[in-house]
Chains A and B, each alone.
Chain A
Amino acid sequence: MNCPSCHAQVPDGASFCDQCGASLASAMPPGAPAVPAPAAPMSPQQFAPAPASGGTTCPSCGTPFVPGTAFCDNCGASLTNAGVPQPQPIPQPQPFPQPVAPMPQPFPQPVSGAMTARLMIGGQTIAVPQKPEVVIGRADVASGSFPDVDLTPYGASPQTGVSRVHAKLTWQGAWVIEDMNSTNGTMLRGQKLAPHQKTPINTGDPLIVGTLQLTFYAS
């Protein structure tokens, strides 16, 4: 029998082509999406078009990298999803209703999958509430500040440079972060963020809030 993908001869009963590696099983495993098996012979035209903006340089130091590389070889910045060409435009997420009242609206139904995130600090995990906008800061009863993620238990104080409303994570189909004009600033992947400028944040990115060192994970 021949491999339907590269036409190399393969022994009967083989599960993968020994040449091109293509699966010879007709059915995809359970849980896999309904994508067609590689039936057509390879031709370069079938590949996704080149990314419009080159995008395969480290956002932190500009060193070029191969798509899929997790960390910059030069400066160590996280590259997960940074500038990796997407095979298709990302489907637009449903716009979230803006809260009208200052009180945070409880979400009508739990949002599954991609909107979940967590922060790690010194081996401890801080759960990020499942909301489209998450304020990170330091609770202060006197001034009525109650951020969604209160870093006080993890060492946040005026001495460690954490503002009451320090930074904000926003879900836009992917997570972005902005510094809320904090006193001591927010650093993402070693770069200081300009106030109120939304910047994509990727899983594994180092994040410094005041002087607290965190790592962001979208999971």
Chain B
Amino acid sequence: MAGEVQLTCSTHRDYVPVLNQPQLAYVLLEMATTQAMANAQMPLNFCFVLDKSGSMDDDNKIAQLRQAVKHAIDLLQPTDIVSIIAFDANPKTLCASQTAQDKNRLKREVDRLNASGGTQMASAMRAGLKEVRRNLGRDRVSRLVILTDGQTEGEPECLREAENAAREGISVIALGLGSDWNDNLLMDMAQRAQGRADYIASPEQIVQHFQQQVQAGQGAIIQNALLTLRLMQGIQPRKVWRVAPLIGDLGVQPISDRDAQVSLGEMVKDQPQGVLAELLLPPRNEGRYRVAQADVSYDIPLGGIVGEHTRADVVLNYTSNPALAQAVNPRVMNIVEKVAAFKLQTRALQEAQSGDRAGATQKLRQAATMLLGQGEADLARTIQLEADRLEQSGQMSEEGKKTIKFSGGKTVRLS
């Protein structure tokens, strides 16, 4: 069966000028699950690994956390598998791995969650992996959902546990609450375990983040998606970005002089994926060219489908007519601009870290201007504020830095 995934390609211009030197073209590839997959839902094998250290007593955090876990339990199917580990300096298994049939009993266990003690995340991850391992299988989405509000002891062990998880096909979602946690650690863990890190600014947002995680797990019906670009002779792929649901550099693997491959991982239903490829085009005479063939291969564990394909052509016209070569596709250009703003923010954070105050301020201001023009007013305001703060005091706020780091990549919404 084919037709579970729809792939469409658009370029930033339909016509590029005939030049005697290479030029850059932007290609937007959009992938979405089709109507055929509307009712599909993946069974889960989730372990919630929850920080119950003393600091969770502040600002009603622990109460909000209890509520968020209970809400997540409500969203589970009776056949989903769930376990809950609470940790301070030591892990404690609140619920061993089990199906979510008796939700009331599970929720009663959640009520035992009280804040006290230190923070030792690695041993809790180990305990969580032990629970998830009991029901591992390709037909389930196996995942650790970790929430922490503080700095942990034993960071290298956390990274090792993330790698152990990845080896067994268990992904790690690492959620940081408030401003006092190490974002580099959480991002690194998530990256090593094909997961995602995110920033929860205030306790009342925990519930919404947990809901998103359950729904994203249930919707992760497409696995092992792999994009292959077969390029026209002479084309160099310069960069390949994921743009939606989250902007990030995908890294491009040349597999021959004509083919480049990018791993897309899982695809979530109702959450279109976007990829922006920057291709360096060689000089060509006037005419119409297929500059690349895009091929996405994927698996659908629910239907026992392995290695299904969908393909699309990327076609461009070379022209000597300057008026034609000037017209751009505004939709693609908006996304190119959002990626440019994201790059500026990333570089600004690095420059601020290394003490280049002027460079960082200038880049933040430029990013804010671009985002404001794109209607991303809240993010632009935060960036503007942090630019002012950096210029005046040489420091950015922890909250501002985390907002920029984690929201800066969420600006592209495909529909």
> A residues bordering B, Cβ < 8 Å?
5-6, 15-16, 19-23, 25, 28-29, 32-33, 35-38, 40, 42, 44, 46-50, 66-71, 73, 75-78, 80-81, 84-88, 90-91, 114, 120-124, 190, 203-204, 206, 208, 213-215, 217, 219
Q: Looking at the complex, which one of A38, A40, A203 makes contact with B333 (CB distance below 8 Å)?
A: A203
The answer on a CB contact under 8 Å between A16 and B289 is yes
**A180–B372 alpha-carbon span in the complex (Å):** 24
Q: B343 at the A/B interface (Cβ < 8 Å)?
A: yes
Give residues of chain B (320-361) contacting chain A, Cβ–Cβ below 8 Å: 320-326, 328, 330, 333, 336-337, 340-341, 343-344
Min CB distance A73 to B, Å, is 7
Number of contact residues on B: which range applies? 35 or more
User: A49-B20, A70-B26, A84-B17 known; A40 and B285 CB under 8 Å?
Assistant: yes
**A5–B330 alpha-carbon span in the complex (Å):** 32
Q: Looking at the complex, which one of B25, B288, B322, B370 makes contact with A87 (CB distance below 8 Å)?
A: B322
The answer on a CB contact under 8 Å between B373 and A214 is yes
Min CB distance B281 to A, Å, is 7
The answer on a CB contact under 8 Å between A70 and B337 is yes
Min CB distance B257 to A, Å, is 12
Closest to B289 in A: A21
Min CB distance B394 to A, Å, is 21
Q: Which residues of B contact A75 (CB under 8 A)?
A: 362-363, 366
Q: Looking at the complex, which one of B21, B315, B324, B344 makes contact with A76 (CB distance below 8 Å)?
A: B344
Return 16 A-B CB contacts under 8 Å, by A number.
Answer: A6-B233, A22-B287, A35-B287, A48-B19, A50-B20, A67-B24, A80-B333, A86-B17, A87-B18, A87-B319, A88-B320, A120-B373, A120-B374, A124-B375, A203-B330, A206-B369
Q: B227 at the A/B interface (Cβ < 8 Å)?
A: no
The answer on a CB contact under 8 Å between B333 and A90 is no
Closest to B320 in A: A87
User: A21-B233, A67-B21, A73-B343 known; A38 and B285 CB under 8 Å?
Assistant: yes
The answer on a CB contact under 8 Å between B330 and A217 is yes
Q: Which residues of B contact A35 (CB under 8 A)?
A: 286-287, 317, 319-321
Q: B387 at the A/B interface (Cβ < 8 Å)?
A: no
Q: Looking at the complex, which one of A67, A70, A123 makes contact with B12 (CB distance below 8 Å)?
A: A70
Q: Which residues of A contact B323 (CB under 8 A)?
A: 90-91, 114
SS class of chain A's interface: helix, strand, loop or mixed?
Answer: loop
Q: Looking at the complex, which one of A22, A33, A124 makes contact with B289 (CB distance below 8 Å)?
A: A22
Min CB distance A63 to B, Å, is 13
Q: B130 at the A/B interface (Cβ < 8 Å)?
A: no
Q: Which residues of A contact B343 (CB under 8 A)?
A: 73, 76
Q: Assuming A15-B290, A90-B323, A123-B374, what are 18 further A-B pairs, CB within 8 angstroms?
A: A20-B284, A21-B290, A22-B284, A22-B289, A32-B317, A35-B287, A38-B289, A49-B20, A66-B23, A73-B343, A76-B341, A80-B333, A81-B326, A85-B17, A85-B21, A120-B375, A215-B370, A217-B330
Q: Which residues of B contact A217 (CB under 8 A)?
A: 330
The answer on a CB contact under 8 Å between B337 and A68 is no
Q: Looking at the complex, which one of B22, B322, B336, B365 makes contact with A70 (CB distance below 8 Å)?
A: B336
Q: Which residues of B contact A206 (CB under 8 A)?
A: 366, 369-370, 373
The answer on a CB contact under 8 Å between A36 and B286 is yes
Closest to B325 in A: A87
**A213–B319 alpha-carbon span in the complex (Å):** 35
Q: B222 at the A/B interface (Cβ < 8 Å)?
A: no
Q: Which residues of B contact A215 (CB under 8 A)?
A: 369-370, 372-374
